[in-house]
Structure 1
Amino acid sequence: MVDRKKNHRPVRAHLKAHRSRRASLLGGAVLVAGLAAACGGGAGGAVGNPARQNPDTLTIAVAAPPQSLNPALAGNGDPLIIPVELAYDPLIYLKPDGTFAPGLATGWRFVGSGNKVFELDLRPGVKFSDGSALTAQGVADYFAYFAKAGGLGASRVQNFEKVTATGPLSLRIELKAANPELPYILTQGFAIGDVVSPAGLKDPNRLGTSTAGAGQYVLDAGGSVTNQSYTFTPNPNYWNPKAIRWKKVVVKVIPDANAVLGAMRAGQVDYMISDSKNADAAKQAGFEVRTWPYLFGHVQLLDRQGTQVKALGDVRVRQALNHAIDRKALAKALFGKYATPSDQILLPKADGYDPALDGHYAYDPAKAKNLLAQAGYPGGFSMTMAAYNLQPGETDAAQAVASYWSKIGVKAKIEVPVSISAYTAGLTGRKYQAQMFEYGGLPMYLVADQLLNSGSLFNPFNNTDPRIAALMREGAAADDASRPAVYRRLQKVLVEQAWFVPFASIDKVTVSRPGLEGVTASPRSPDPNPVFFTAAHG
């Protein structure tokens, strides 16, 4: 695999990821694609009548390179996880309809009550791409590596108190704290269940530029260029060869959404994760455009106890910031018909989402000013807000929110980190008192785990509240039937305490070539998995 910056240098988490979507990292082929599209030529044919999906090769465009090909350092969710999904089978598959299916594990269960003991039965006869065998001890060793690797999901595996191989193909996980979503985080979107082979674990530095999984495909290093293009070919050792649908899958990094659409018109790309601004143009060009609720846009008020900006420690100030923004106008201006206003840090239909809280913070600048005055800040105050384009348009959203706040005297200085390493360093170093963020539509347990837990990346000031902590513990230990009610109570406290300034539920937009099937999703499975994609016959 060729690295344009330094040959064979591993792609490491936080260091080579998420180049700005405003950067222009377009190779010659992409420029040709754009020119061909502009001239109406190329393999795509006339505008509105693009070529159908090639049944042998699937080409996916992503806006940013993977943080790493190493599952333990890859992060989670689209687009970071796509290369890992191709090369690593998870222990449990999350199907497009949100239900679970066997992967490397054929059976799983919680033992007893309280969601703290979990057992897995592994699939017999599985070999990794390097020929080594899947064993329970190998999975336990992978978990131990994952917990120490330093990736974004490490804390979830650090919650494993003890992992025991109870047989050659069976193991038990004992948790420090309850986790009702353990089966969910062992699916493909989180990488925790994407087991690396024993041989791969012996030299983890190589995992940044090679693959060592038991998935459908292996990386073709000779046909790949770090941070630009990744080519995958079928894994000859795959346990279910009939499931392999493509002779080749290519993942291209193209930061500019307009350039991707041009490449699709020229027949060089088959699938892309788009933004709302390009959706209508893609439809007019004859491509399949699919949308569904995906993210909740919000400002995280990180300094909620007023450590650096004393004003943020007052709940009236945080409530004022919520009343100061016009959610309906924001959603429409930023995302058009592909978003709806929201006051909550969950998507509709998620466990814990409460329709009774919709509209809790009506747009009322006069009330916002009055709350500021009551708190002792009639002239407003200043703070620093980070805005990094992990999702397209987050900097635009930050500017729009800051504009509303300026009308009540609150000055939000927006900082745009130059890289993901600078961004995460700024968060952990408490450089920002707030940040714009668009977070995926996950169950409340997982949202709370990342956004509320003391010491997490998104709670760098270690804010705590006894009511919030108690409800998090209660929800984690509850059974499936009673958990949503607990999380609705948690949501109510979060809204009333105004730890966040939510503003919209935002749709995911995907664009695919006619004849590409399997691009489907659901509330619990919001990221289409390319291993389920197929080309229509005929």
Structure 2
Amino acid sequence: MRINSSPTRRVRAGVLAAAATALLMTSACSGTSDDEDTNGTTESAAPSDAPTTLAIAVSRQPQGFDTTNLANGTDALVWSAIYDRLIVPGDDGLPVPAAAESWEYSEDGLTLTLHLRDGMTFSNGDPVVAADYKATLDLLTTTAGPLSGEVSAVSSVEAPDDSTIVINFSQPDASFLDSLSKAIGAIANDDTIANEDAPTNPVGSGAYTLDADATVAGSQYVLNKREDYWNADAYPFETVTVKVIADSTALENALKSGEINVGDIISGTIDESTGITATEIPGAGLQNLKILDREGTIVPALADVRVRQAINYAINREAIVEGVSQGRGEAVAQIAFPDTNVYVEELNDTYPYDLEKAKELMAEAGYADGFAVTMPSIIYSQTLDPVVGQALSDIGITVTWDSIPAQNTGQAIISAQYPMAIWPDGYAGPARLFGNQYTEDAFQNPFHTTDDELTALLDELSTTVDPEAQIPLAKEVNTWVVENAWDAPIVNSSRLIGVHEGYTYSGTTTNSFPSVTLYGVAE
């Protein structure tokens, strides 16, 4: 199958919710004008008085810039400016060309061939050739690191000529194109990839270089634009400064004072007389009551679908949106994100708030008097713990909360110690989104619960390499999970972004990947 390499499509993208913003910042396209392409593959026309510098902030220090240790969170605001990626997300999250002009899979999905565009050079002047990406991917597949899981299906890489990359797989990997639009798609220079200073002095083919003299590790990272970049006209800023501001209140104050030009408004309020415009970005992050013990290993009641459905009916999602989320967000009964191509609007009507219905289901299942559960109280759930606890109490489920230190948050989920947990999630492509939650060995399936029908759907989704063909399969998985109440999703929150006069921010739901291309100049 061949992927169209025609002009790129305008992105609608998303970022994590206010309630989950901390997760994005500890883990986490285009600021474009109307006649500019989302990948920057056409020229932009900035007004003559437009700003030429950009200052933004992240809450944690990047972990390094060698390609084996790149992180897909806010670290990418720096490294994605330094390195070209082979592809980037386009409309509805589907991949579109970047450094690779086109690509095609073999019929069995076991071979992916990519074709590099001409005219790309590294910041040291070397031309970008297929052997560079072969070296990059070879190193990723042979080095234990944070990206190892994303290349586990790669069996070999070939570079038959300077513009052709051939990747062979041991089994089809439906998430691989999505991964190529992130860290594993970054292209390093074969001659410098193993240098000792690669983590601090990276050589990439991206639109910017890291200014070593102006950069202070752990404090700020300064990027200077390359005028010789193959698509320089798409990048309006001559200098980009990424500041590290760990405290969310301090970050918002930096926005209000003008220290940064674009940033999150954590408080939910802003004085627009300061020249800052607030924009609500929907589909920012999911808050989900995970029903982990679906086979009743710890709590036998949870093996009964009627009990799981009762839990869903007992949650007043609309009230939570208005109260806890201050009206910013959407009440949801599904894990698929609003404004994405696998979101099924009518699924949100499956479990309207109905306390009597919930109690009836509990009685039918033999639990009219309820039962007791212990749940973890984690850093990302504390605002929801009281209201969720009350909702469960209303149908006889008594919750004991275990306070979990921030550093043990993930362990609380994978330990199989807790039958339920409130957990935040960010947007991901359909194969990764559903695979990470419901496959037998998924991180969010600590009891390894399976169902033959669901497993068959997930297996087909995980081996369908055509992103568009994944859409109907993902909708089937989504529908099955909701109808069988494997979880009780609550709210998909919004993110409030403040933008100073002269700047724009174009992040939305389906392209949440942090990149300087999210930021632009006002027309």
Q: State the TM bucket, normalised to the shorter chain.
A: 0.7 to 0.9
SS at match of 2:84: coil
CA distance, structure 1, for counterparts of residue 471 and residue 252 of structure 2: 41
**Equivalent pair of 2:293/2:420 in contact (CA under 8 Å):** yes
The reply to whether residue 356 of structure 1 matches residue 318 of structure 2 is no
Equivalent residue number for residue 488 of structure 2? 501
| SS of corresponding position for 2:264 | strand
Deviation at 1:170, TM superposition (A): 0.7
> Helix, strand or coil for the counterpart of 1:202?
coil
**1:92 lines up with 2:93 in the alignment:** no
| Equivalence for 2:76 | 81
Aligned residues of 1:59 and 1:271 also touching (Cα < 8 A): yes
What are the residue-to-residue correspondences of 1:89-488 with 2, within 5 Å?
89-95=84-90, 100-112=95-107, 115-147=109-141, 149-150=143-144, 153-180=147-174, 182-187=176-181, 190-203=182-195, 206-235=197-226, 238-275=229-266, 277-278=267-268, 280-281=269-270, 283=272, 285-294=274-283, 295-375=285-365, 377=367, 378-385=369-376, 387-389=378-380, 394-407=381-394, 408-419=396-407, 422-475=408-461, 476-477=463-464, 483-488=470-475
Deviations 1:322-378 (Å, cap 9, x if unpaired)? 222111011111223321111011123423322232221222334434444554553
Q: Partner of 1:145: helix, strand, or coil?
A: helix
Partner of 2:58: 62
Aligned equivalents of 1:319 and 1:150: distance in 2?
42
Q: CA deviation at 1:525?
A: 2.0
CA drift of 1:178 comes to 3.4
RMSD: 3.4
In structure 2, the CA distance between the partners of 1:478 and 1:129, relative to structure 1 (3 Å rule), is closer
Letter in 1 for 2:264: I
SS at match of 1:82: helix
Q: Provide the secondary structure at the position in 1 that maps to 2:335.
A: coil
Offset at residue 199 of structure 1 (A): 4.4
Residue 387 of structure 1 contacts residue 415 of structure 1 at CA under 8 Å; is this kept in 2?
yes
Moved more, 335-344 or 478-487: 478-487
Gap regions ≥5 residues in structure 1? 1-17, 24-51
Asked if structure 2 preserves the Cα contact closer than 8 Å seen for 1:88 and 1:194, the reply is yes
Percent identity over paired residues: 25
Which residue pairs with 1:513 in the alignment? Answer: 500
SS of aligned partner of 2:308: helix
The higher-RCO structure (CA 8 Å, 6+ apart) is 2
Cα 1:466/1:67, change in 2 over 3 Å: farther
Compute the displacement of 1:480 (Å).
6.2
- Shift of the 306–159 alpha-carbon distance from structure 1 to 2, 3 Å rule, reads farther
- Indicate conservation of the 8 Å contact 1:53/1:513, yes or no: no
Shift of 1:282: 5.1
Q: Is the 8 A contact 1:398 1:414 kept in 2?
A: no
Aligned residues, how many?
477
Distance 2:467 2:406 in 1: 42
- The whole-number CA distance in structure 1 between the counterparts of 2:486 and 2:69 is 29
In structure 2, C-alpha distance between the alignment counterparts of 1:379 and 1:242, rounded to whole Å: 63
SS of equivalent to 2:406: coil
Task: Give the drift of 1:247.
Answer: 3.0
Structure 1 letter corresponding to 2:398: V
Deviations 1:447-486 (A, max 9, x none): 1132223333333333322211211233343866664333
Structure 2 matches for 1:6-25, cutoff 5 A? none
Cα distance between partner residues in 2 of 1:411 and 1:156? 37
Against the structure 1 CA distance between its residues 326 and 73, is the aligned structure 2 distance closer, same or farther, given a 3 Å change threshold? farther
CA deviation after TM superposition for structure 1 residue 426, in Å: 4.0
The letter of the residue matching 1:245 is: P
SS in structure 2 of the partner of residue 345 of structure 1:
coil
User: What TM-score do the two structures reach when normalised by structure 2?
Assistant: 0.80
> Could you list the runs of 5+ residues in structure 2 that have no partner in the other structure?
1-19, 26-47
Cα deviations by residue, 1:108-156 (Å, 9 ceiling, x for unpaired): 12233x5443210123453333555433233123223334555555323
Contact 2:210 2:223 in 1 (8 A): yes
Deviation at 1:20, TM superposition (A): 6.8
The residue number in structure 2 matching 1:10 is none
Counterpart contact for 2:373–2:419, Cα < 8 Å: no
Q: Give the Cα separation in 2 of the matches to 1:492 and 1:207.
A: 46
Q: Secondary structure of the equivalent of 1:396?
A: coil
1:33-44 equivalences in 2 (<5 Å): none
In 1, distance between residues paired with 2:49 and 2:440? Answer: 47
Q: Distance in 1 between matches of 2:21 and 2:520?
A: 30
Q: For 2:197 and 2:91, how far apart are their aligned partners in 1?
A: 32
Residues 103 and 488 (structure 1), Cα distance of their counterparts in 2 relative to 1, 3 Å cut: closer
Cα distance between partner residues in 2 of 1:151 and 1:313: 37
- The 1:107–1:325 alpha-carbon spacing in structure 2 relative to 1, beyond 3 Å, is same
Hey, what's the Cα distance between the residues in 2 that align with 1:208 and 1:435?
Answer: 37
Change over 3 Å in CA distance of 1:268–1:397 after alignment to 2: same
CA contact (8 A) 1:119 1:170 kept: yes
Counterpart of 1:11 in structure 2 is none
Output the CA distance in 2 between the equivalents of 1:119 and 1:461. Answer: 38
